[in-house]
Copies of this chain bind each other. A is one copy, B any other.
Amino acid sequence: MVTEHLGAARTPGRPRSEKAEKAIIDAAIDMIAEGTGVAELSIEAIAARAGVGKTTIYRRWSNKEDLVVDALATLKAPMPELEGKSVREDVIRYLAGMQQETHHRRTRCIMNIALSESERFPHLAERFREIAVKPRRDALRAVVQRGVDSGELRADVDVEVAMAALTGAMIFFTKWRENDDELPADLPERIADQILAGLLP
């Protein structure tokens, strides 16, 4: 965003249209959600889709990455409530939420960007992590930590590793599955129970 908010210094002349701004950002997000990579996003296509002149875009953002950063910033990620009675219950609910999200093309493609474009757009990736990843990570960390504190989990549990195992297992299933079979409906339970119980006899 380039708009200046210096005190109450309202500029003379016609004010910028908030509707146009929203249309631009929506168009950008939609195109990303449809699989267009950041590098292939064209200002012209965004403008056309938003029903907006290219000028209107260049007036606000000086380059594409700035636009995308602002677009991602508007994504409010809904989070499942994690105030259940047990760690197991909260973990299952968290994993089920993840699984649910992979059904939305929008979420999938946005996650792809976070996974793959971080090499080329570090600024973008950092912003994305802050907005979408961190809140979820914090929520899960709180659940595990609560379990450790309450004695429901072992005291020597490595919280970060536990989070990685839970989250990573679900990502692995949803992204690297060999065939396109439906995922089993009880996948969250199975992951949670097995990681909680461990593999040893």
- Residues of A bordering B, CB below 8 Å: 35, 37, 39-40, 108-109, 112-120, 129, 133-134, 137, 144, 147, 151-155, 157-158, 161-173, 175-176, 178, 190-191, 194-201
Q: Tell me the interface secondary structure of chain A in the complex.
A: helix
The 5 closest A-B pairs by CB, nearest first: A198-B198, A168-B168, A116-B116, A168-B172, A112-B116
* Distance in angstroms between the alpha carbons of A28 and B172 in the assembled complex: 28
* Distance in angstroms between the alpha carbons of A164 and B165 in the assembled complex: 8
Residues of B within 8 A of A176 (CB): 114, 129, 133, 167
* Distance in angstroms between the alpha carbons of A153 and B112 in the assembled complex: 35
* Distance in angstroms between the alpha carbons of A201 and B147 in the assembled complex: 11
| CB-based nearest B residue for A195 | B165
Name A196's contact: one of B163, B167, B200 (CB within 8 Å).
B200
Q: Is the CB of A161 within 8 A of B154?
A: no
Would you mind naming 19 contact pairs between A and B with Cβ atoms under 8 Å apart?
A: A37-B37, A39-B40, A112-B115, A112-B119, A115-B116, A115-B175, A147-B199, A158-B190, A161-B190, A162-B199, A164-B169, A164-B170, A165-B166, A165-B194, A168-B170, A168-B172, A171-B172, A196-B199, A198-B198
* Distance in angstroms between the alpha carbons of A115 and B122 in the assembled complex: 18
With A169-B161, A178-B134 known as contacts, the answer to whether A198 contacts B195 (CB < 8 A) is yes
With A39-B40, A164-B173 known as contacts, the answer to whether A153 contacts B197 (CB < 8 A) is no
Residues of B within 8 A of A155 (CB): 201
Measured between C-beta atoms, what is the minimum distance from A177 to chain B in Å?
9
Q: Is the CB of A120 within 8 A of B199?
A: no
| Beyond A115-B115, A154-B201, 12 additional pairs, beta carbon < 8 A | A35-B120, A37-B116, A133-B176, A137-B178, A151-B201, A153-B200, A154-B200, A161-B191, A162-B194, A164-B173, A195-B199, A198-B199
